[in-house]
Amino acid sequence: MPKETEDTSADVRRFFERKAVGYDENWRGAHGRLVDALQWEAFESSVFSRLPAGFTFLDLGGGAGRWTHRIATSFPGSSGMLYDLTPGLVDQAARRARRGGYADRVRFRLGDVRDAADLLSGESFDLVLNSHHLLGFVDDPKAVLAALTRLLSVDGLMVSLLPSRWHAAFEGLGLEDAEQTERSLAGLQWAANPAPYRHLFTPGEIRVMHAAARLSVDLLSGFPSLLYPGVHGSARDRAEQILRDEDVFQRVLAMEKELFIDPDSRGRGANLFVVASRAAPRIP
């Protein structure tokens, strides 16, 4: 592995190890609850109905196991693996599996996503999930995505949640930092986010990247589109206050769901959601 890549991996590992100390998902607040509700809705409407009974899944960058837990408990016939770079988070995910009663169906493995295709060679999964902006933390997401296709079953789905460079630029201007905003627009840095992002995405780039990996983009959308927590304390507090009212939360959720299925709104989402499958072979 080149030294630059090793340095990148070390930065990401250190950041998330610090996050693992005292990690509590309840700290995500009302806005985090909204994002999770929208992501689960995206899974239910666009992914699970296309998977076979007793499907297998690979949760790459699965962290403390939020999505592994929800998938495993919602689909007791499923089985899979959580794969992550951070020992502290993987330990938490494994403990959660034991508490949840699905430790016999889910394996846990430490590793860098760049090595996943080689380390898991010979295995295949009906669902390969790149959540938590995983591909935003690697230097060459195009190469990583192409390698991960080797882990897809014949009719498998590659599902990714990716950071939007347009949203990052929006937040950059909220910091009144034009230079950092320009870096965000170039896809290089998320100025308003302390996480060690290496790459931010646009819808057009996502389509090119998947085509290069011989994947067909079946769905490309984004969320949330209407309510952002903002980069200033007052804006964050206001978003949280709005969403704490359960009636307002449900109304905002309904509006966000409508926008999710509108193809013209995809570029507005803070998170870009992609469902892809193997491209049909071209007939000469």
Which residue in 121, 279, 124 sits closest to 211, CA to CA?
279
Q: Which residue has the tokens 């000469």?
A: 284
**55, HSE (Cβ side, Cα atoms, 13 Å):** 26
List the domain boundaries for the chain.
Answer: 8-278
What spatial distance separates the first Cα and last Cα of the chain, rounded to whole Å? 38
Would the CA dihedral through 113, 114, 117, 119 be positive or negative? negative
Euclidean distance between CA atoms 178 and 180, whole angstroms = 6
pLDDT, one tens digit for every residue, the chain (284 residues):
554 555 567 777 777 677 665 655 656 788 888 999 999 999 999 999 999 999 999 999 999 999 999 999 999 999 999 999 999 999 999 999 999 999 999 999 999 999 999 999 999 999 999 988 999 999 999 999 999 999 999 999 999 999 998 888 787 776 666 777 777 777 777 777 778 888 999 999 999 999 999 999 999 999 998 887 665 555 566 778 888 899 999 999 999 999 998 878 877 888 999 999 997 654 43
pLDDT at 283: 41
All residues at 6 or more sequence positions from 127 whose CB lies less than 8 Å from its CB, including other chains? 47, 51, 55, 56, 57, 58, 80, 156, 157, 159
Contact 58/134 with Cβ under 8 angstroms? Answer: no
Burial class (CB in 10 A: 0-12, 13-18, 19+), 72: buried
Nearest to 274, CA basis, from 209, 212, 229: 209
What does the DSSP 8-state code read for residue 132? T
Nearest to 120 by CA among 60, 70, 167, 68: 60
Contacts of 231 (CB under 8 A, 6+ apart): 171, 174, 175, 192
Domain 8-278 falls under CATH 3.40.50.150: yes
